[in-house]
Amino acid sequence: MVKRFPPQLAGQTVLPVIAAPMFLVSSPKLVIESCRAGIIGSFPLLNARTAHILEDWMQNIIEELEKARRENPERRVAPWAVNLIVHRTNKRYEEDLELIKKYQPPIVITSLGDPAPVVNVVHTYGGLVFADVANLVHARKAAEKGVDGLILVCNGAGGHAGTINPMAFMGAVKEFWDGITILAGCISSGQDILAAEVLGADFAYMGTRFIATHESFANSDYQKMLIESSVEDLIYTDAFSGVKANYLIPSIVRAGLDPAHLNKKETVDFSKLNQSEAKAWKDIWSAGQGVSTIKEVLPVAELVERLRAEYQQALASLCSKRSN
């Protein structure tokens, strides 16, 4: 499939995949190994508990990826990305934005607010801004702010998910948007990646599948629960962050709570994500509806190779059916 990418992305990946940024899960190592394997790796800036730690992480990612390119010029080493919460209650917003200016990540993913100030900063050094959107109102607003890509967070996605079917969401967004489009929600296999492309996506946004990797911050209990769970083990609730998200019911029960009697959290204070909110996300584990197909924990490099083989097989099968 021929794609019209900006030069920052053209020919930089082996698969049209972004390993999505996951709070308390995405590690610098996960980012590095994703990029080394040829897909875009990303992490939330707030995964680093302090700005000092964040600076160390960003330096390390840059150094490791430069080393990978230097040692193997033939390899496609993908760009890296960071996720910045632009909600007004993120008290580290200004400090983290200064580090973005300094270390110039090729892609900045914005969530939960106005991306315009970030666009102004990132475009000065030639970077790209992708905005998380869960409905058409937010998609139109982000498009008007000059972002380069829209991440359509559809129903069934892990974490803070939307409610719109991907077919409907993609079709509606394409009515007014011709920039980079990324599809999120229930994407766990190479076949799913191809399906996202067929719908019109330039990239598939995969989070849950990368929880079960050696390089993620997820502990072994979380990964074991992920492997043992199915789509029926998920609940969509706003009880833990004030915004509806998909969580693993067994983790809620394990924390001593009754999934049938959860009270809505009335306010969202993202300044506390590394404090009280962190405890909720640390003990109450998230997953998307694609969880049913995850059967083992793998190194990122092996997972990407498997996804690539599945993708090629699905593409060959599709081409064969079209020719018959």
pTM score: 0.93
Per-residue pLDDT tens for 263-280? 776 444 444 444 444 466
Extract the residue ranges of the chain whose pLDDT is less than 50: 1-2, 266-278
pLDDT the model gives residue 322: 73
User: Would you state the pLDDT for residue 4?
Assistant: 59
What's the CA gap between 90 and 269, in Å, rounded?
Answer: 7
Q: From residue 133, how far is each of 15, 113, 127, 304 by CA, in Å?
A: 23, 10, 19, 26
For position 320, what pLDDT does the model report?
Answer: 80
* pLDDT score at 6: 80
Res 276: pLDDT: 45
Distance CA 141, CA 69 (A): 37
Beta bridge partners of 152: 133, 183
Domains and CATH numbers, the chain: 17-218 (3.20.20.70), 220-289 (no CATH)
> How confident is the model at residue 195, as a pLDDT?
96
What is the structure's pLDDT at 265? 62
